[in-house]
Structure 1
Amino acid sequence: MVARNNERTSMVGGGYYNQNSSLQALVAEECGGLVSPDECQGGSITLADYGCSEGSNSVLMLRRAIESCPEDASITIVFNDTPANDYNSLSATMDRLLREPDKKNPRKIYPLMAPQSYYQQVVPDDFVDIGFSTASLHWIARLQPAGGNLLPSDADISAEVLADILHFLRTRYRELRSGGLLLLSFPVDGELSLKCAYPSIFQCLTDLAVEKVISKEAASKFRLPFHFRTPEEISQALQAVKGEFEVVEHFDRDVTHPAFLQFQSTFADSPSGTPDAKALDAYCKAISGGFTAIIGNTVVDTARLFRGASSSTETSSAEEIRSRMAEKLQQRLRKSDFWRTSLGNKYVFLKLRKI
């Protein structure tokens, strides 16, 4: 059996992910809205967010869930992410947004942090009433070079993603109380996607290799660390855990990236159909920032794993690599015609109840 508890990749911290995850924010908030008041009874309620990153999207999601809890409830919130996560930023986000002292929330809220991979058990058995995970379960543990156990290039991805999600679900099963809920949302295979920007990502890495920011080997070895599951792969996973979880809700939704909608509005009425240059620059910057926030650390990990004699990776800081990536990716997007394609993702929403 492949060990999956050595995952160390995280989203880019320092407020960067918070500022560059508007697509994920829409999904997180909708996921939080799936909790109803009759599912949040009791004087003490425990919520857990598996894959919280810096927390701004978690707060949007959890605020919706907390509104369904009794006003006299004491609510424990477990914020979980890998040890590499920026917990200083997460703490500041919680302090600034979750408590909101001016709004006089009568509920008592107790935030906790669990710095472990969600492929490990992160809280005791029968501890959580409602667990969440949004925009993170498409990540594949063994496509992340920091883990030290890279998936071979010829491996069966379908088998790997099934093993990942079953490991996640069965670990959560132990942590949930009887009748507890698990609310999941993650991008899946669909017509609406981010793929129109992928060529620019790999061209950007080639640019970094030419400039000796990373090695040529790192540029050629880099793999996007996620996989968008098909409906068949999701059904297979749900069938495998049918004795442990009841499916309460299961639906898909196309979510267009807010930056694309804003950009599209600037030239929709243009007779020539040509976008305004400033609007296109802003759009490219937003999408470059979004991808850098998501995979910037994976690029750094790949650069460090595949060092080359002619690269400056030994002396370049992670911040320098990410900064150059964001700049080069923005330039590559600007030169491409990716803007002609709607950009976003299809997301699956799952509401599961522990049997």
Structure 2
Amino acid sequence: MSLEPFFNRLRSDLEGAKRDRLYKNELILRSPQQSQVSVGDGDKSTLINMCSNNYLGLANSPELVAAARHSLLTDGFGMASVRFICGSHAIHKELEERISQFLGTEDTILFSSCFDANAGVFEALLGEDDIIISDALNHASIIDGIRLCKARRLRYLNNDIEDLERALKETSGARTILIATDGVFSMDGIVADLEKICRLAERHNALVLVDDSHAVGFIGPSGRGTPALFGVQDKVQIVTGTLGKALGGASGGYVSGRREIVEWLRQRARPYLFSNALMPAICAAALAAIDLAEGGDQLRESLARQTARLRSGLSRLGVKLGGNAHPIVPVLCGEAHLATELAGHFRENQILAVPFSFPVVPKGQARVRMQVCASHSEAEIDQVLTAVECFPSLEALKEVA
């Protein structure tokens, strides 16, 4: 039997993605991750970077680079082992304890990424006698993690507390109920209403899991995230998060929460048991990042100020935005071709912003998602606003439903 039909199908699907403007090209950077980046596509241009998760501007911080360099010299390059064999270094425990102290939790376990953390947590903790209730706009890693679990699955409309209550009423007879939600929904910058979610969870004896990847470091008091923002740290039993966004932007994720939960994950979470331990230099830089975030009120003030400048300016131009106040600033375009056109116009004006379309977002909900970081200047934000003002299809943007 020939394999050619399989490869013909892939070629056809790829051509279809290009034809429908859904094909994703990867931009090659020739500089560190920062507010302006150099790209390597021949023109060697410098672009204002409006699509990085580098919220606090720490990805190229001298303090983080110095911490990582020192760790390379003292702790080596890699662990070459999983944690339970010979991959646990003292710096891993130090980082886990520091994350717990920062978030106000009992214990923390590190993973290679937050995707791995979410892939491991549900299957290890829940079984066929349990129920998971998931927000409709949760991150793909939560969705995939739930798919690996044998628990019954229910879904509620995004941040819709009445629909969550409806789902909770369908959980009769369950051994354990767990509500899973993003702290901030990454495609829109919407902050989950954790106060009401936790109130319902208490009423129905449900656990609460929050993926706080787009919040930790810059949302809430001292950047401790959405549970701290709403004052519900003691009502959220499981927090997952990443070191790959505001806390340095490298890699690594974690599950933080009740000690019994974390201890059991060390025994049963498959991505933890079967993946190499984090590179020590990443842990060293993350420790420095948490220190900077905890004392980073000036960084958070700058981030909030530039976010407000961008959002208010776009609103004055009549552009429809997603979310509210968060540095994720999605310009809603509706159709993929308009999002692609806007991103191309940005590029012509030395601005890097990427279009998001199906399958990343539902069909008809394409957007250009911009993200502000603390190191953006007023001049850079104003350059973005000027580019939108002269966008040839601005009137079409204004008409997006």
Fold conserved between structures, TM > 0.5: no
Shorter-normalised TM range:
0.3 to 0.5
Larger Rg: 2
Q: TM-score, normalised by structure 1?
A: 0.32
- Return the TM-score normalized by structure 2: 0.29
